[in-house]
Amino acid sequence: MLRLPRFRYVAPGSLDEAIRLRAEHPDTSMYVAGGTDLYPKMKRRQLQPELVIGLGRATSAAIANGQGLRLGAGATLTAISEHPTVRERYGALADAAGLVSTPQLRNMGTIGGNVCLDTRCNWYDQSLFWRTAEGYCMKTHGDVVCRVAPSSPRCLAVASADTVPALIALGAVVRLAGPGGEREVSLADCYREDGIRYLTLAPGEVVVEIALPPADGWHSTYLKLRDRGSFDFPIAGVAAAVRWDGRAVAEARVAITALGSRPLAVDAGALVGTRLDDDAIATVADAVHRAARPMDNTSGTISQRKRTARVFAERALRSLRARG
């Protein structure tokens, strides 16, 4: 049985205190919300912080309607997937949050934690005993080559958060707080194509809130491929959203996950002005297929996952055509 290493846990009562603690221990501390990803990684000794800073009392779990929708970073995936407004007006997010892992983990896992989910790889997500026997990899030992592509100058671990492509397709903006104050950025700009340094957040920054614009005229959906129909991380995921203006598409967004080291927005401009006809859908599905860059570092084959990207894009957009 894998056991947690020794660590000190602190649950500060305010966000300012949490940020201060993180700044005082920059190399030996980590934030935690629901802990559904961090604690298993600590058991496998992938991550070994000496100080774990709980955000349960420091961040909001509110889901607020207004000019759009505002999600406190502490809102659980269950609360989001079951929220009436999310289900009615932000379908892709409800779909994605409801497809994460199991009910027990969705009850604990938070939206803030999911958008910051660590990248995954078959060479990385193993016990310490396994990794010791195999010789480690670049993500945990910088002097070791990437075990997936030995000539690669960067880690190829894959992004696999379900809610992120849905949020990108819905136009999400995140509010961040850190030692340098607060700032707002597009969610899509929070990621880079690097399996190790996959987030663009500054040291000590934490996600505080996610804001979605009004959903008037928008319809959206999310499709996920995984090994089994429950629990598993995606090995390909596609989110699509379109805004109808009368009988034509006025705006469209498509985003993918689990097909590279970062979630990626794909140009869906070919859909604008159409009624989601087959030719327009095929053009965007081809763009999704080109953008998908799966590697042999998770379940499924490269060709299977790349082909799935196109098929899921077609299916998602056709389902939105039926709704429109």
What's 273's domain CATH number? Answer: 3.30.390.50
pLDDT in the model for residue 66: 87
Residues 164 and 41 in one domain: no
pLDDT band at 230; cut points 50, 70, 90:
confident
Structural domain containing residue 21: 1-55
Determine, yes or no, domain membership for 151: no
Dihedrals phi, psi of 244, to nearest 5 degrees? -90, 140
Label residue 127 by pLDDT band (50, 70, 90): very high
CB atoms within 10 A of CB 247: 7
pLDDT tier at 15, thresholds 50, 70, 90 = very high
Could you tell me which residues are beta bridge partners of residue 185?
Answer: 174
In a domain, 177, yes or no: yes
Q: How far apart are CA 77 and CA 75, in angstroms?
A: 7
Instruction: From residue 13, give the alpha-carbon distance in Å to each of 53, 57, 64, 78, 274.
Output: 11, 5, 22, 24, 51
Q: Quick count: other Cβ atoms within 10 Å of Cβ 164?
A: 28
Q: Tell me: do 50 and 174 sit in the same domain.
A: no
Classify residue 301: in a domain, yes or no.
yes
Give the pTM.
0.97
| Domain assignment of residue 193, yes or no | yes
* Burial class for 43, CB neighbours closer than 10 Å (0-12, 13-18, 19+): middle
Q: Do the beta carbons of residue 38 and residue 105 sit within 8 Å?
A: no
- Do 5 and 96 have their domain in common? no
Q: Under DSSP, is residue 286 helix (H, G, I), strand (E, B) or coil?
A: helix
Residue 143 lies in a domain: no
What share of the chain has pLDDT > 90, as a percent?
96
* Same domain membership, residue 167 and residue 33: no
Q: What is the mean pLDDT of residues 1-29?
A: 97
What's the domain count of the chain? Answer: 2
Q: How many CB atoms lie within 10 A of CB 135?
A: 11
24 shares its domain with 109: no
Q: Judge if 236 and 182 occupy the same domain.
A: yes
**Predicted confidence (pLDDT) at residue 229 exceeds the cutoff of 90:** no
The answer to whether position 183 is within a domain reads yes
Sequence-separated (6 or more) residues with CB below 8 Å from residue 143: none
**pLDDT given at position 65:** 92
